[in-house]
Chains A and B, each alone.
Chain A
Amino acid sequence: MGADKAGAWMADFAAQIHDNADMLTDLDRQIGDADHGSNMDRGMKAVAALAAADFPDSGAFLKKAGMTLVSTVGGASGPLYGTFLMRVGGAWPVEDSAEGIGVALRAGLEGIIQRGKAEVGDKTMVDALTPALVAYDAAAGEGTQAALDAAAKACAEGRDGTTPLVARKGRASYLGERSAGTQDPGATSVTMLIEAAARTLA
C-alpha cells in the first residue's frame, strides 16, 4: 500500500507553497502579519522531508504530516492545516474511492471549522473549502478525478470570492473594513492544496 499518492500530494503542495511563498506573504502583509508564505513554506518543507514510503498507509502519513505542520508552521495555519491533515488522515478510506476521499476531506473541513470557528463569509480558507467540498460531492459519482477537478474549480472560485469580504476571524479582523479588497491568504493556499490533490490523488 504505502502512502505514495498522499506523498505525491504533499510534495506537490510543498512545491506550490515554496514557489508562491512570496505571493502568499505579500497577501498576508496587506491584511495580516506578513508570515503566511514563509510559515507554510517552513512547515511544508518539514512535511516534504518525511518519507512517505515508510508509512503503512496514506492515513498514517497524513496524520504525521498534520502533526509536523502543528509544530513547525508557527502561525494560525499550523493548527488549522495540522487539524485538517490529521482529520483527513484519520478518515482516509482503506480502499481509495471518490466517496471515501470525499468523506475524509469533509472530516478535514469540519476540523478546521471546529478549530477556527469560522463560518462561510468570514474571509477565511473555509470560504474556499466549503464550496470545494460541495462541488466534490456533486461530482463524486463521476469518479475521483472529476470530483477533485470540480473541487479545485469551486475552491478557486471561493478563493476569488474572498476578495470583497470583510475579515471576521484572525489577525485580519482587526483591520475591519480595510480588509476588503485583498484576497484571503489562507483561502489562496488551501486552493493550492486542493489543486495539488487534483493533480495527484486520482
Chain B
Amino acid sequence: MIGIVVVSHSRALAEAAVGLAEEMVAADARPAIRVAAGLDETTFGTDATAIAEAVTAVDSTDGVLVLLDLGSAILSAEMALEFVDPETAERVRISPAPLVEGLVAAVVTASTGATLTEVAAEAEGGLAAKVEHLGETTAPPGEAPSGAPDTASPGAVEGPATEVVVRNPHGLHARPAAALVSGLRGLDATVLLRNVTLGKGPADARSVGKVATLGLLPGHTLSATFSGPDADAARERFLGLAATDFGESGVATADVPTPAEPGPSSTADPSRTGRQVVLAPALVRGAAVDTASYSPGTATDEKGRLESAFAAVAAHVTELAATAGPQRGIFEAQEALLGDPYLADGLAADTASGSPATDAVRTRFAAVAADFDALTDPYLRERGQDIRSLERQVLLALMGTTEQAPSDTPHILVVDELDAATAAGLDPATTLGVVTTTGGATGHGVIVASSRGIPVLTGRSEAQGVAEGTLLGIDPGPGTLWLAPDAATQDTIRGLAESRNSEATAAATRAHDPALTTEGRRVLVEANIASLADATAGATAGADGSGLVRTEILFAHHVTGPNAATQAAALVEIGKALGAPITVRTWDPGGDKPLAFLETDGEANPMLGERGLRAMRRYPDVFAEQLRGIVAAAREVPVRVMFPMVTDPDEVVWARSVLTDVLAEHPDPPSLEVGIMVEVPAAALRADEFAPLVDFASIGTNDLAQYTTAVDRGNGRVAALSRPSSAIWALIFMTCTAFGDKPVAVCGDLASDPDLTATLVGLGVSELSVRPPVVALVKEAVRRV
C-alpha cells in the first residue's frame, strides 16, 4: 500500500484534513499517513527537512503520494526530494490535487491497494464531484488545481502567445529590433516578447534595448503575447513584420558583414582599395566627455535640457540616416534607441529625483550598454558601441558643444571604438585611416568606414594613450601599425605608400587584361561572390570569373530550402552580371554558418562536426535539389560545381552519384566540371586519391589553416599561430602536384594578399579567387611572377 504525506503551512489544518479523510476507511485498511506541516503547533510554515523525514517514514516499494496546500509547500516538497534517498525520491509523486478533496480521494483509493499512479489520478480528479454538482465548467477534473497561479491569476491577461522562428542572419540585433519596435508603434497594445529557446524575457516590445537583449539568434523561437484594445492589430502587424524578417528579408547578403570578407567597396578612386598604406599624425578622439564644468539647474531645468539634447542628437542621427545609403539601418536603429521609453523613463526618474542630467545620462546609457556587453554573441555585443556613441553625443549636446570636426589636415583617427556616426562623417580625403584601440572587426563603424575605402586597423591596444599629433603609419595588408616611426622608417612607409598607390592605379588600368606570369602562364584571377552586388563589383574589377559562389550566404535568408528554379535563377543572374564562368560551392552549412532550413542539433564541436558535404549525407534531397538548380543554371551560363569539406574519396563518389542521377533527368545534360574543396588536411594528404575523381580542386585556406594549426582565427590570443607557414605551403604543393594538369584554385583569404601571390603561383596554383576590390592588384602580382 502506498504511503501519504500531507504538507501544509498549518499543522492544525493538516491534522484536521487527515482526520476527515481517515473517517472514510476502517482503521486497519488505512494507508500510512504522515503530516509535515507548520514549524511547530502554532507557527505557519513548511520545512523541507521535516517533509523528507515524513516521506522516509511512510516509504515502501509501493511509493509515496505527497499532497500539499500552496506556495512554499510546493518548493519545500520539491526540495525534500533532494534530501531523501534517491531511490525513495524516484517513487515519490507530488500531487497538484486540492488538499482536502485530493486527500480524501487518495486515502480511499489507497486503502484498496491501488498503485501510486491510480491513487494520484484519483486525487487529481478529487474536484470532479464538486465541479459537477455546482455546474462549474471552467475547471475540468485534473486541470486548474488550486495552486496554479499561471492560469488562475487574474494578472494573466496577455492572451495566447504567437511564436515565430528568427531567421535574420544575425538574429534580432539592433536594426531588426528597431524595425519591430517602430512597426508596433502607435497601437494601444502591450506586446511582450520572449526568447523561448533561451527562456529569456518577457521584454516590452516598445523598447529596442529590451528586445535586443533577449539575445535572439537565428533559429531561436520568439514568442509574443498581445493585450490591450489594439491587441489584434498588433498581432497582425507583428506577423507581417516577422514575414519580412523584420525588414531584413532579401537583404541578408547585403547586410551581413563578415570580418573575413568585407562587402564590395564602392570606391570611385581605384587606388582606394582599403589596402592603402598611410602615414599621418594621430588625431585622438573619443576621450571621455568632460562634464566637470556642467552646472546643474533645478529638476525642471534638467528635464528641459535633457529633452533639448535628445532632440538635437535625434535630428543629427535622422540627418545621417537620410544620407547614409545602404548603412541607413544603423542610424534608424539609433533613432529608435533614442526613443526607447525605458531609457526615457529612467532618465526622467533620475532628473526628477535631483540628479544632474549628465549623471543621469551616464548611468542610464551605461546600464543599456552593459546589457549588450553581457551578451555572448560577438555581433550583438558590439552593438553596445552604438549606445556609447549616442551617450557621447547627448553629453556633448548637454555641454553645448558638438563633436569637434576632425581638422582638414590629413590625419589618422585614433578612437577606442569606431562608431557608425563618426565613420559616416569621415572625409576619406583627410581621414586617411582609422585605428581602434578596443573595437572588434565587426562593429558598424568599421563596416561604414571600409565601404568608404578608408583603411581600418581594429583592436590595437598599443595605440591606447597615444598623444595627439604622434606620427602613425598603418599598412592594412599585413596589419602593421607604426607608432612614431623614425625618419628612416617614415621614408620606408612613404615609399611603401607610394608604390602601393601607384601599383593600385597602374593595376586598375590593366584590370581587365588577362594575368600572365613572366613565363607566359595564365593565372585566372577571380572574385569570391556571395551576392549579386559582389558579382557586379567583380565584373567592374576585371575578375576572370568566380572561383567561389557561397550559396549558403546567397540563400541565407531563406527559411525553407529554395527550390531548384529559385536557385537556378539566382545563379544565372550572377553569371550574367559577372559575364564569366562561376564556380558554385554546394551548401556548406555548419560551423559558423548555420542554414535556417537545415536542422543542426547542437553538436559539441560543430567545427569538427557535420559541416559541408557531411551534412548533405543526412539531407540527400536538399543536396539533389541544389544540384538540380546548378545543372539548370549550367544550361544558360558557364558553371562549375564543387563540394566543400570532403575528407574521404567515398564522399566524392557518393556526391557524384547524386549528380549523375540529376543529370540523367535531362535528355541533353549540360557539361559541368566537378571539383572538391581542399580544406581538411586529410584531403590534401590524399590528393592523389581525389585527383582521378574530379576535374579540379579549390583550396579553402581559411579552414585548411585552421584545421592544420588547430587554431580558431577568431580567437585573438592564438590567431597569430595560424599565419601562413611551410605547413600550409606543403599541403598546397601536395595538392597541386597530385592534380597535375588539372586546375587548382585558392579561394581563401591568402589568395587576396598580393604579397603571397608569387608563393601560391610558384607552388602550382592556377586560379586565385579573391575579394573583388583586390582583383586588379592580384593580377599585377601575377604579372610579376
Residues in A lying within 8 Å of B, measured CB to CB: 33, 35, 39, 67, 70-80, 82-83, 115-116, 119-121, 134-135, 137-138, 157, 166-171, 173-177, 179
Contacts and interface: CB of A to CB of B under 8 A. Distances in A.
Contacts of A74: 9, 38-39, 43-47, 72
B153 A157 contact: no
B267 interface: no
B156 interface: yes
B76 A168 contact: no
Contacts of B370: 134-135, 138
Contact of A79 (B48, B203, B371): B48
Contacts of B50: 71
A78 B200 CA distance: 26
Contact of A119 (B9, B45, B156, B201): B201
B39 A72 contact: yes
A170 B153 CA distance: 11
Contact of A173 (B49, B76, B149): B149
B160 interface: no
23 contacts: A39-B45, A70-B79, A71-B48, A73-B45, A74-B39, A76-B71, A76-B72, A76-B75, A78-B47, A78-B48, A79-B78, A82-B48, A134-B370, A134-B371, A134-B374, A137-B374, A138-B373, A168-B149, A168-B153, A170-B71, A173-B149, A174-B152, A175-B155
Given A74-B72, A176-B155, A168 B150 contact: yes
Given A121-B202, A138-B373, A177-B155, A82 B72 contact: no
B325 interface: no
A80 B75 contact: yes
A169 B71 CA distance: 9
Contacts, number: 102
B70 interface: yes
B49 to A, nearest CB: 5
Interface string B51-95: 000000000000000000011100110110000000000000000
B154 interface: yes
B602 interface: no
Contact of A70 (B48, B156, B202): B48
Given A76-B71, A119-B199, A174-B149, A70 B49 contact: yes
Interface string B196-227: 00011111000000000000000000000000
B155 A115 contact: no
A80 B71 CA distance: 12
B155 A173 contact: yes
B70 A171 contact: yes
A79 B201 CA distance: 24
B367 interface: yes
B380 to A, nearest CB: 14
Interface string B217-255: 000000000000000000000000000000000000000
A137 B370 CA distance: 10
A79 B374 contact: no
A175 B153 CA distance: 7
Contacts of B155: 166-168, 173, 175-177, 179
A137 B371 CA distance: 12
Given A76-B72, A115-B75, A173 B44 contact: no
A177 B154 contact: yes
Contacts of A72: 39, 47
A150 B49 CA distance: 35
Given A121-B201, A171-B70, A71 B49 contact: yes
Contacts of A167: 155
A39 B45 CA distance: 9
A174 B79 contact: no
Contacts of B373: 138
B44 A35 contact: yes
Interface in B149-171: 149-150, 152-157
Contacts of B75: 76, 78-80, 115-116
Contacts of A171: 70-71
B79 A82 contact: yes
B486 to A, nearest CB: 36
Given A78-B48, A78-B72, A166-B155, 5 more contacts: A67-B49, A74-B38, A82-B48, A171-B71, A175-B155
A170 B70 CA distance: 9
